Structure 1
């Protein structure tokens, strides 16, 4: 799930702007001790309560989307190993939005398209990904493909808000350390600031900013903004 506070800007400075004044506002409402409690315990409780409250509405949507994805043939779910907190790997779940032989198709596409290969090497993402199915394009636009990650949140693999989940093979591309101190999130500051265009250096800075400003109010602000982007269907 991805959110934009400033759609006109997609640079790292947007992240700074997104957090401008947070310290002052939060200091009025709670002190440093409260932040430590939230980081150690409150954030996990918040995740579980939010997921359990959302399940009655989410489960019927997932069931409908499963049926739609199954019309393309194959398993409606897709899983991939990702890097979690403290560097531990976990299996992340999504509704399948790509063709069955996605990895092979990507390899062939990058070999025949140098410009796309440069884009992939830079961000491990493609603006025009030929592997995405028609149903998958809709799922991504509305961020519905990520709903199964609520299971990962319940398990403790992920959080509602945190760094963008990193693939195992991307570890050498990531220059920071803050990612490893946090649970990866379904949404987070990197999504707010620049969506797909950010480099790994940018992502490391976003993670450092979020780690520094982590609080209940920060998470709530990002979740509320995420609802807005889902309604606008601006996902990729």
Structure 2
């Protein structure tokens, strides 16, 4: 079927609008992440010092977990380490613990997770553990706003092709809608809705909503 001139115009307009949105979004990501990495450097130094002085929590300050990125490219998403060293290995080695992890939307309640350190509980509750993701944003693995990057096992909860068609984000509509309080399948529905409605106005609203939730410690775990 031959496209009409009107259909071709709509498609061209959509492509130009999308390209412009992605350009502005990437520019914003670079500027914000660079500024954040510079301004928040003292926090990194304090956490590194506390970690070094701890008798029971020594190890790498940063923790990188493999997540699914744009077009299915895997990358390491960075956080301040909030768990004991080799936490992933401990999780997979304990079949009962791993089954509970999967059942509970691929996470464990902090009070029931033996891998989380005392410092880690504070970092998670305050969302400070998420700060190193500005490294991912600056590199281009992630965007400031987008669907939360998932581990490979979680892809079965989504429309895989659609989820991987956009860059994952540090902040998203799911976090603004309750974060860990919202599990699957509702979480997937929210993320898919963002992909359908994504634009600069929506992104700015999500950033504002996320900052409010971080301040209130809403849905942090």
In structure 2, relative to structure 1, the CA distance for the partners of 1:89 and 1:105 (3 Å cut) is closer
How much does 1:106 deviate?
2.7
Q: Note if contact 1:161-1:219 (Cα within 8 Å) is conserved in structure 2.
A: yes
Match of 2:39 in 1: 57
* 2:195 counterpart of 1:222: no
Structure 1 equivalent of residue 121 of structure 2: 137
TM-score normalised by length of structure 2: 0.81
Residue aligning to 2:176:
192
Q: 2:134 matched to which residue of 1?
A: 150
- Normalised to the residue count of structure 1, the TM-score between the two structures is 0.76
Residues 69 and 97, structure 1, Cα contact 8 Å, conserved in 2: no
Deviation at 1:107, TM superposition (A): 4.3
**Deviates further, 90-99 or 122-131:** 122-131
- Residue in structure 2 matching 1:125, options 83, 104, 107: 107
Unaligned runs of 5+ in 2: 1-12
Query: Deviating runs (4+, > 4 A) in structure 1?
Result: 31-35, 107-110
Instruction: Between the two structures, name the one with larger relative contact order (CA 8 Å, sep ≥ 6).
Output: 1
Counterparts of 1:32-51 in structure 2, within 5 Å, are 35-51=17-33
Residue 215 of structure 2: aligned partner: 231
Q: Indicate which of 70, 84, 93 corresponds to 2:69.
A: 84
Give distance in 1, aligned partners of 2:151 and 2:173.
18
Contact 2:29-2:144 at 8 Å conserved across structures: yes
Does the CA contact (< 8 Å) of 2:70 and 2:167 recur in 1? yes
- State the partner residue of 1:164: 148
Q: Which residue pairs with 2:189 in the alignment?
A: 205
Q: CA RMSD in A?
A: 2.4
CA deviations 1:98-152 (Å, max 9, x no partner) are 01131344346652x6xx8346334101123221111001111111111111111
Which ranges of structure 1 fall in alignment gaps of 5 or more residues?
A: 1-30
Q: What is the number of residues matched between the two proteins?
A: 203
State the distance in 2 between where 1:43 and 1:136 align. 31
Q: Matches of residues 61-72 of structure 1 in structure 2 within 5 Å?
A: 61-70=43-52, 71=54, 72=57
Give, in whole Å, the separation in 2 of the partners of 1:205 and 1:91: 25
